[in-house]
Amino acid sequence: MWTIPFHKRNPPSDNASCYRKNALFVKALVGNPPLASYVRRLDYEVIIVPDTNDEDLAETLSAMKMMTQVVDLNGWDGNIGEGQHPSRWKEAMRDFIRGSGLKYLSLRGITFPPNYLPTSLRTLDLEGSSLGFEGDRLKGGPRHRRIELETLWCNDIESLLYFDIYLEEGGQAIRLSKIKNLSLWAHWHVPERWARLLNQTESIQYLRITVHRRVDDSRAEGVPLEGFVQSPLEHVHQASYSTITHLKLDIHGSLVPDKPIIRPYTGVLNEGLTRLDALERLEVDMVLEGRYDLEPMHFNPGEWRSLPLVLQKYGVLPKLGWLSVRVETKLFDPRLRCHPEEPPLTDEEIAEIELEFLKKEAHAEMLVEVMAERTYLRADFQLLLDLRPELDLSFVTAVTLGNRVWRRIASELRS
């Protein structure tokens, strides 16, 4: 772990050891420069961006310049882009990345001007980060640099929005047409954001779509886990229909009480799925949670038939050999305190919470059985396996409460 030094005269106690390790690492490289050529992976956690006059900054920058063989960089927290107040450290970080042979760059909570990304870069992994398009547009940076990305992860809505704004602003540094692995958040109320990205990727092999749906409308008759007018698959570049071999759908939803789940596969696994002629692996990972505990009435069996019914159609997904579906419910643990600073619990309060927890455990045992019966429709999947004897099928339902997990794995259907 590489930690940019905060002021060493008064380091926070929980980070003091990190500071000492960082100082030893820097001194070791400065004292023995050949060691720097062995550094291939570098993890940065930016506690505080060093002041230009920081007495440790010169030594830190010297060590950075020596590490010329880094190909894997992880940056955590802190703006390393242009900013309104550029510092020696920010400029050094920008130049370090631009002049490196990086193949993998992970940014967490960081802004960076895209025209300073190295042309060697093949994987860009973003979370809570932006590409600093404003600074890039105003300051320019090196021109005629084209990064041929092969993998792009936009791990949250913030990163996706900023990346799309960069494209909307006419960003040319990053070429998307050759991307083979793409992960994005498909937020239902901003479809134009993720649709633009899908439309520019022509040779995807692995596609991961995350749908995060927080449902609060108690007036609705049912609770759809999406609000899409069109499935994200409708926006995939036509050329990628013949190249996508692995599709993963991550669904996160929170529910309201007394309302059944409708369209549990979020409208993604519908007719649009049938266009993926090269698909070999289909994976669904669904997590349901919220302020309320799920009850049996939430799981209407008829609403879970959409996936097996699509796959039963003749000629659909001819190369599909592996199907995995996991549906998990997370129950609120009554033992968790929302406000740790509150006064200690009395013995009576502790006993009451423990009793509530025991009731929750019994509820979890019942719920996982109901989920297994209603989300995995045995007759439909039996017919699917009869039609597709080569299909490897995994279907798991789970309920978690604190550290405990109850699971049910669909029994083997083949005779």
The number of folded domains in the chain is 2
Q: Can you say how many angstroms the Cα of residue 187 is from the centroid of all Cα atoms in its chain?
A: 13
Task: Give yes or no: residues 142 and 217 share one domain.
Answer: no
Task: Give yes or no: residues 1 and 138 share one domain.
Answer: yes
Range of the domain at 225: 212-415
- Residue 225: phi and psi, rounded to 5, are -85, 25
pLDDT, residue 284, reads 94
- Residue 375: phi and psi, rounded to 5, are -90, -25
DSSP track, 225-252: S---SS-GGGGS-GGGGGT--EEEEEEE
Q: Is residue 187 part of a domain?
A: no
Strands, DSSP E only, in 11-161? 41-46, 72-76, 104-108, 123-127, 147-148, 151-154
Question: Residue 319 corresponds to which tokens in the numbers above?
Answer: 């190369």
pLDDT tens digits for 173-231?
788 888 999 999 887 666 777 888 888 889 999 999 988 765 555 555 555 566 666 78
C-alpha 177/C-alpha 200 separation (Å) is: 6
Give, for 212, the enclosing helix (H) or strand (E): strand 206-214
pLDDT tens digits for 129-167?
766 544 444 344 555 568 899 999 988 888 888 888 878
Over residues 90-119, mean pLDDT: 81
Mean pLDDT score across all residues of the chain:
79
pLDDT, residue 212, reads 76
| Helix, strand, coil percent content, the chain, rounded in steps of 5 | 35, 25, 40
Task: Give yes or no: residues 31 and 154 share one domain.
Answer: yes
Task: Give yes or no: residues 154 and 299 share one domain.
Answer: no
Task: Give yes or no: residues 371 and 248 share one domain.
Answer: yes
Global pTM exceeds 0.85? no
pLDDT tens digits for 55-96?
667 787 788 888 888 877 777 655 554 444 456 767 777 788
337 — pLDDT class (breaks 50, 70, 90): low
Among 85, 94, 92, 102, CA closest to 42: 102
Over residues 236-260, mean pLDDT: 87
Calculate the dihedral angle through the C-alpha atoms of 343, 349, 350, 354, rounding to the nearest 10 degrees.
-140
Q: Is residue 196 part of a domain?
A: no
317 — pLDDT class (breaks 50, 70, 90): very high
Choosing from 147, 175, 203, the residue where a domain stops is 175
- Residue 284: phi and psi, rounded to 5, are -125, 125
CA distance readout (Å), 234 to 99, 187, 231, 282: 39, 15, 5, 17
Choosing from 175, 199, 230, the residue where a domain stops is 175
46 — pLDDT class (breaks 50, 70, 90): low
